[in-house]
Amino acid sequence: MKIWMNEDRKKGVDGERKKNVCNMERMKEDVSRERRKNECSRERKKCECGGESTRVYGKQERWERERRNEVNRRKERNRNNRSKKKGEGKVRGEREVEEIKIVGWNVAGVKNKKADFWEYIRGFDVIGLMETWIEKKEWEDLKAKLPEGWNWKCQEAERKHRKGRAMGGIITGIRKELVEIKGEREEEEGIQERRIETGGVIWRIINVYNREGRKETLENIKKEVKEDEEENMIILGDFNARIGIEGGWEESEIVNEVVKRNSKDKKINGEGREMLKMVEERGWIIMNGQKRGDEMGEWTYEKDDRKTVIDYGIVNWSAWERIKELKVGDRIESDHQPIEVLIKNKWKKEEIEESSVGGQVQDWTEEGEKKYRENIQKVRWKETEGGKEWKELQEEIKKAMSRKEKTKKRGLGWVPWWDRECKVEKRKAHKARREYRKGQEEGKYREYIKKRKDYRELCERKKKEYMKREEKEVEKNKD
């Protein structure tokens, strides 16, 4: 059978056929694309073919990437939190800060310090505590209790005689986020150095306790800090030396002239003259009385009628330009005041969120027991039938019990005899000291000394009373 078809009709049929084929191809592509979207979800479901698809398209790809990043961030936070001891808090993340906080302080013993002392210490990134009275046998036990987040180091105190306490001792701490450069030099007595590198700048932070202002310690400082290895140097400590208003100098644009420092202590002693020789010989600068924050040269040691400046911050010229300010602190835990230094330097610091403790517990302290007895005497019993009487008795006992808020676990600085009365007296002493620092009046100074003496006597009395109660309890148990 012969089929005939003209040329025009043939072209029309072929064109229509091509259009249909193209449309079918597009439809197949659309269907397959939709199928892939449905089959390859973010939960990595199995495809019909039996394989596992990980590819996601368009917005889904961005969502998947963000989800993975968030999961990784959570895992990192969890790892950091697990590395912390329970109760120490959780790491919320890092933030960039623009300064490094340093403190150097003659604390006159660390074993007798309360919790608020350690709360103050936690506010610094580089810590130097002098005259700690911590011996070698006591260090390991104390180190386990010290705040986490710092690398701690100790120079043990030495006992000169069998009787009495050990003398001297230095404890220093560096935040773990700061890069520390460890050295192999042997430490001289009364000198402990820590080196850090941040932002490409090396800092040498040297803590000094010069008992009796000995010349030997000054010579050891010069040996420790060689002229060609000074870097950015800060020396903080108790030098037991009085230098009056000497030790300040400034380079004028016209002529080099010596400018006196400001200081409330006008006296100079022999130990002070030796210290001034060392500073002038090496071209260092005494920050007390001429750096921002201590323009007037505050007293650093106050005990009864004796007020002196014997604690100093000393730097070289390289460090002077990078230091933002120096302040003499305002604390009552020691007769010495802390020397606080701020360095201008950007670095990343971990933020730790303190673990919160909620709810209430029964208060069976001496005060709580007293309240319970008072409340239980006010209860009037009613005669009821059966179990109602017992339930009523339970309810009345619960109401009579004194309750208090849950607190964190006992940490460093906790003592059983410390109570609200001690806190109130300490606040009064702090307030009296702040008022004295504002006006510098002799009458206010006397008031501050009296308040501090009252606080210390109260603590001694509370401690003795607690020890007597403990002894009585022991005697009862023996009987």
Q: Residue type at 203? A: W
Backbone angles phi, psi at 232, to 5 degrees: -100, 110
Report pLDDT for 313.
96
Report pLDDT for 351.
66
CB 342 within 8 A of CB 99: yes
308, two tokens: 């002196």
List, as one string, the DSSP characters of 380-398: -----STHHHHHHHHHHHH
Report pLDDT for 13.
46
Report pLDDT for 390.
62
State how far the Cα of 414 lies from the Cα of 427, in Å rounded to an integer.
17
Torsion angle of alpha carbons 388, 393, 394, 396, nearest 10°?
A: 120
List, as one string, the DSSP characters of 401-427: S-EEE--PPP-TT--TT--HHHHHHHH
State how far the Cα of 68 lies from the Cα of 431, in Å rounded to an integer.
53
Which residues are CB-neighbours of 91 under 8 A, at least 6 positions away?
A: 77, 80, 81, 84, 350, 351, 352, 353
Report pLDDT for 250.
55
Other residues' Cβ atoms within 10 Å of the Cβ of residue 383:
6
Distances from the Cα of 341 to the Cα of 99, 103, 448, angstroms: 10, 6, 26
Q: What is the pLDDT along the chain (479 residues), one digit of tens a residue?
A: 334 444 444 445 455 555 555 556 666 566 566 555 555 544 444 444 444 444 444 556 666 676 677 667 666 666 655 554 444 455 556 777 889 999 999 999 998 898 889 999 999 999 999 999 999 999 999 998 899 889 999 999 988 877 778 899 999 999 998 999 987 778 899 999 999 998 888 999 999 999 888 899 999 999 888 877 778 999 999 999 999 999 876 554 444 555 678 999 999 999 999 999 999 999 999 999 999 999 999 999 998 889 999 999 999 999 998 999 999 999 999 999 999 999 988 877 776 555 444 556 666 666 777 777 777 777 665 555 555 566 676 677 677 666 666 555 566 777 888 888 988 999 899 889 888 888 778 888 889 889 989 998 998 999 899 888 888 877 776 66
Distance of CA 94 to the CA centre of its chain: 14
Report pLDDT for 81.
57
Distances from the Cα of 242 to the Cα of 213, 272, 300, angstroms: 9, 5, 11
CB 125 within 8 A of CB 341: no
Residue indicated by tokens 């307030």: 431
Indicate the pTM of the whole model.
0.68
Please report, for the chain, how many H helices and E strands are present, in that order.
Answer: 11, 18
Report pLDDT for 27.
62
Residue indicated by tokens 């820590």: 194
198-218 exposure pattern, b = at least 16 Cβ within 10 A, e = fewer: beeeebbbbbbbbeebbeebb
